[in-house]
Structure 1
Amino acid sequence: MRIHPVEVRRWCESLGGVARTAELARVGVDRHSLRAALDAGELRRVREGVYATPDTGAEVITAVLHGGALGCANRLRAEGLWLIGCDDRVHVSMPPTGRRRPHAGCACVSHWTASTTDGGMGSLADALVQLLQCRGAEDFFVALESAMRKRRLSRSGVQRLRARVQAQHRHLVDFARWDADSGLESLLRLRFRRSGLDLAPQVRIPGVGRVDFVLIGLVVIEVDGVPGHADSPLSRHKDLVRDAIASAHGLETLRFDYALVVHEWPLVEAAILAAVDRARRRRARRVVG
């Protein structure tokens, strides 16, 4: 029985936008129906035995041409997760028995892992493991908390992921929260954990509302990852009002944006530690007085 070209495309879309001949055959697409879908422009041939819908993303197509599926940071970005940064190369999840395929302008990064795929996309868990190996603990932790907040991982999925990472990195999974508000907040919380300072996230202060962090109970830290926020006069005014009320409570407020936290961390750290020192000296004077 012939399958209409539009229906063949829908089957391919259900497989993640990329499908192999055998995968299409399992849902009843015979070679005549496949040829009709190609002729009608509902599918395109990526390489021998592999097909994609016309609107499948360029990065996915590149990964398939390379011999694998989209992986690492590219896969996580396609999921809409928070990332510290991402280079311009396509990271490809390669099966252990796979074969890297040369293709035009190839600058791909291959990740040879026990991968599972959904069409042209590697699994989310594979991508997180690859990110840890490729870019380190901070990038992994930020992406993990983003996946947890968006409920892209279940609790059992988090535990399976924990079992896959090296023992020295499992504390990152244990420390991760389900309610981290942004990647910048995840990054700060992880960094201050290493310093041993008491950093409380998402604290409500009377008259101020919820702030990103309160450090040692006396220093407010706000991080802004939204481009253009500081350029809004109304938003700027509200921030100033909040800072003034916090000051009336005896709290010093420090504000940082994405560029400062990610690219100028030594400056940010020095400013925060200086504020902590001032707060401790004020508290000590009050106790003595």
Structure 2
Amino acid sequence: MVSVVHALIQSVRCLGAEGFFAAFESAWHLGLLTGSDRALVRQGIPARFRHLVDIARPDAESGIESLLRLRLSRLGIRLESQVLVAGVGRVDFVLAGRIILEVDGRLNHDGPAQRHRDLVRDAEAAAAGYETLRFDYALIVHDWPRVERAILGTLARSRRRMHEQR
């Protein structure tokens, strides 16, 4: 058995940037890393990966949330994470103040009852002036270009609307 720190340091060579980032954020979220542990990981990985430790946060509740945020950060897009929206509840991300991004893993979103709950939340968000985009694991991992187009298109429309309102 090795420590979490050692496992993360080794994982960057096997998993690459995205896999390491998701594992690092997951370990942090689960409370498995102290501040000094994070510093040791940063010190122990190749320099080209250190920025990943610098941008990591402990609020991602799944690896696909981490992956989505990392990929959008590479496009210069910043997200608010784990945002409480009145009448809706806590959402995964808010982009540009009015676009909700939900990352649906099977565990919390599988089955008719959970699907209905998600649709009710989306309806409440729409009533409050938000647009919700919902992506599952398969889309984020295996069909990223489609996810990226949806987000960029929605963001462009939102910016046009804001500009027209001025």
Whether TM exceeds 0.5 here: the answer is yes
Q: What is the percentage of aligned positions where both structures have the same residue?
A: 55
Relative to the length of structure 2, the TM-score reads 0.93
Distance 2:46 2:109 in 1: 39
Which of 115, 118, 125 is the equivalent residue of 1:246?
Answer: 125
- For structure 1, list consecutive stretches of 5 or more residues without a partner in the other structure: 1-120
Distance 2:11 2:21 in 1: 10
Which deviations, in whole Å up to 9, do the C-alpha atoms of 1:6-39 show, x marking residues without a partner?
Answer: xxxxxxxxxxxxxxxxxxxxxxxxxxxxxxxxxx
Larger Rg: 1
- Report the Cα offset of residue 126 of structure 1: 2.4
- For structure 2, list consecutive stretches of 5 or more residues without a partner in the other structure: none
Aligned match of 1:217: 97
Which of 274, 277, 282 is the equivalent residue of 2:156?
Answer: 277
Which deviations, in whole Å up to 9, do the C-alpha atoms of 1:111-155 show, x marking residues without a partner?
Answer: xxxxxxxxxx23322221222112211100100011111122221
1:248 maps to amino acid: A
- Report the Cα offset of residue 227 of structure 1: 4.3
1:198 maps to amino acid: R
SS in structure 1 of the partner of residue 135 of structure 2: strand
Give yes or no for contact 2:84–2:90 (8 Å, CA) kept in 1: yes
Which of 156, 159, 168 is the equivalent residue of 2:39?
Answer: 159
Give yes or no for contact 1:199–1:214 (8 Å, CA) kept in 2: yes
Runs of 4+ in structure 1 over 3 Å off: none
Give yes or no for contact 2:108–2:114 (8 Å, CA) kept in 1: no
Q: How many residues align?
A: 166
- Report the Cα offset of residue 229 of structure 1: 2.3
Relative to the length of structure 1, the TM-score reads 0.55
Give yes or no for contact 2:59–2:82 (8 Å, CA) kept in 1: no
- Report the Cα offset of residue 228 of structure 1: 7.4
Higher relative contact order (CA 8 A, sep 6+): 2
How much is the aligned-residue C-alpha RMSD, in angstroms?
Answer: 1.5
Distance 1:228 1:205, change over 3 A: closer
Distance 2:78 2:113 in 1: 32
Distance 1:176 1:217 in 2: 21
Residue 148 in structure 1 maps to residue 24 in structure 2: no
Residue 174 in structure 1 maps to residue 54 in structure 2: yes
